[in-house]
Amino acid sequence: MNVKIHQLKTNEDKRGIVFEPIENESINTQQNSHVVISKPGIIRGNHYHQYGTETLTVMGPALLRFKEADEILDFEVPVGQVYKFVIPPKVSHAIKNIGEKDHIVFAFNTVPHNPENPDVISDILMDS
């Protein structure tokens, strides 16, 4: 599996948690960024990108599933922990909010978003 998975350092105090969703040396290669907010039990993704490398930064709880060729990998992000996933082109991915509150994902892609011709190919890895 070519997905790179890194636990991110967080700084926490009585005000909450702070983390950097992408490192400085990678920010200049990104052509798209967006924030995804999902309700409990909701699944996002269920696709792959033909050309772009996608980086997802996720604060748990969440379940992520990846498929490359015939290999499937499930990864659970524990409550309060933050992980970054760098997903190369042609690797299918899905993310499920397994918590009881809204869930936030920071997403970056090396290909600009084109609504008329998106770099998204459907591949259902999870269903409700």
> Which domains, from first to last, does the chain contain?
1-9+50-128 (2.60.120.10)
CA distance 10 to 22: 13
The confidence score (pLDDT) of residue 27 equals 94
47 compared with 70, residue with greater pLDDT: 47
Q: Exposed, middle or buried by CB within 10 Å (0-12, 13-18, 19+), for 98?
A: middle
pLDDT of res. 1: 86
**What Rg, from alpha-carbon coordinates, does the chain have?**
14
36's tokens = 């995804």
Q: Quick one: DSSP state of residue 31?
A: S
Tens-digit pLDDT profile for residues 3-12: 999 999 999 9
The pLDDT score that the predictor gives to residue 51 is 98
Q: Are 112 and 31 within 8 A, CB to CB?
A: yes
Q: For residue 103, give both structure tokens.
A: 């869930």
Mean pLDDT of 18-44: 96
Query: 3-class SS at 24?
Result: helix
- State the burial class of residue 103 (Cβ atoms within 10 Å of its Cβ: 0-12, 13-18, 19+): buried
Interval 73-128: pLDDT, tens: 999 999 999 999 999 999 999 999 999 999 999 999 999 999 999 999 999 999 97
Residue-wise pLDDT for 48-68, tens only, equals 999 999 999 999 999 999 999
- Say which DSSP state 78 is in: P
Could you report how far apart the first and last alpha carbons of the chain are, in Å? 25
